[in-house]
Structure 1
Amino acid sequence: MRLRKVELHLHHEGAAPPSFIKGLAKEKSVNLNGVFKSDGSYAFRDFVHFLSVYEAATSVLKTPEDYARLTKAVLEESAANDVIYSETFLSPDFCGGSDVGAWREYLHAIKDAADEAERDHGIILRGIVTCIRHFGPEKAKASALCAAETAGDWIVGFGIAGDEMEGKPKDFAYSFDMAREAGLRLTAHAGEWGGAQSVRDAVDDLKVERIGHGVHAINDLALVDKLVENEITLEVCPGSNVNLEVYPSLADHPIEKLRQRGVKVTVSTDDPPFFHTTMRDEYINLARTFRWDEDVFAELNDTAARAAFCDEDTRTRVLKRLERT
């Protein structure tokens, strides 16, 4: 489906093509036994195992130059799927060990590669700094400091990812307050594994304006109404949810029910090579399952562009490119 697309929920390392990680591991003589299946794809059993495989694959990304090369590979793939604007989750824990000086070096390399991709492929990238939930609240503060020190036109948001079953959103309120005071917009992974209550807690305790996943909100209709009333946007990743067995099939996925009740939903790939998906695949599968037509997808992309954390000049450019002729 050749529609221009906006993607708001993409993990930078999680978008790394397996061939890229394999090649880097070979260059660096890093043993990644157990990370790949015999067919070359990433190997994991469940969500917790996925996190450990993700971190093992990420271990070969050791320098700013590695991240520059990764950025080019990721954006080439996104652009090939007609994505014109993307926001990517970046963790200072993986980029310099949450040291502000080292983080700046990684960020400079990533941004330079993104600028090159914008010139070559017309895709715009912006960064959202994420703390890692299962690394704990203290490490989150270091990530928030990195975010605050580099907030601006390119680092536009702050969020939290990782194991949703570790701790509570309120444990990370200090970090979110720091990011908010630096002018960053806020999102949080919730409602993928932690049920509807985790969405409510993220909204109430972290004061976010977007929720990553958020799909289990459908089990609490009062919460659904609250999302609508407060204009909270959901970064929904249907292929990821089905692959990880959050739902048994796309037909069982609540994205259409949420949309029908007036929730602002968007579509993203999460960690596309891990979950055997692309943005084009997501659109094709959603169209087939829910009979969505181009008008529905135009609505989704308009919602995503308006929920993006970029500056208004960038938003205007993106909205203009989304216009159908």
Structure 2
Amino acid sequence: MLKKLLIACLLLSLIIAGGLVWSYQQVKSSLDLPVQTPENVLITVKSGTSFRGLLNHLAEEKIIRPSTWTRWIPRLEPELVRLKTGTYQITPVMTLRDVLALIASGREHQFAITLIEGDRFIDWQTQLTQAPYLKHASKTMSEAEIAKAIGASGIEKLEGYLLPETYHYTAGTSDIELMRRAYQAMMSLLDEAWQTRDQNIPLKSPYEALIMASIIEKETAVDDERGVVSSVFMNRLNKGMRLQTDPTVIYGLGESYDGNIRKRDLRTPTPYNTYTIFGLPPTPIAMPSKASVLAAVKPAESSYYYFVADGKGGHKFSKTLTEHNRAVRDYLRTLSK
């Protein structure tokens, strides 16, 4: 009788053990099932979200199939249920285990925004307003208030002060934080560039170098030309000539610019009309790239005083007005073909 009881207990133990092993394998299998999404998706884990709430959300979004086995994951894999708030990207190659490990790690999805060189501050504001998952803290702030918030106290206009670059951020980051990073990056670049400048350039301060860099940026997008364009403006400044550069006129026209520069625009005095003023305009006219900043402080050596578009994406540089006028006529003939 005792022997039969022992055998029965042994069989029961084997059945229970087998059931536990089978259950364990089912939980493991549920973790290793691939997600159901055919494309990358973003999910946001909010503060206070429970593990059960996360699973329900994933099932509602059709990222995973509902399973009764997933409720046992906290007992078997407790490290996977330590949820961290944030926004995460789920890809089609992931499994549920991968998703939970990602959320437990806190490695949030990095969004990217590329702020373009040559754009104005107002253009950047528009771009930042349209950026996804970015907190728009500056929406009701004036330019001077934004400047103060990013650490640029005493500055009224931010034109030129932010470095064009690709910036990464996580969901909920403030646009002020991105602009602060861009400002600090430009100040670091400008300080280093000014310290290593050509001592013969006719610029009196880092800010004047920033103004010059913005003009170079608007005049050419050809890297090999930046230093030469810079040399033209330096030569004209050294000789007491007006810069006579169209982009400054356009900037001065502001909202009234309709895509065309007329003779009256060149004759109408504004603080930015370098056809009527001597020297530099009062502020930068765009956000200059690193290449333009470096060209402003280290221009090429040349005897050029003029340049005009060559109709092929670059410019024709001239030493005399006679040569320049000939280059202008050649350019106009190119346009008429």
Q: Name the TM-score class by shorter chain.
A: under 0.3
Instruction: Identify the structure with the greater strand proportion.
Output: 1
Greater relative contact order, per chain length (Cα 8 Å cut-off, separation 6+):
1
User: What is the TM-score normalised by the length of structure 1?
Assistant: 0.22
User: What is the TM-score normalised by the length of structure 2?
Assistant: 0.21
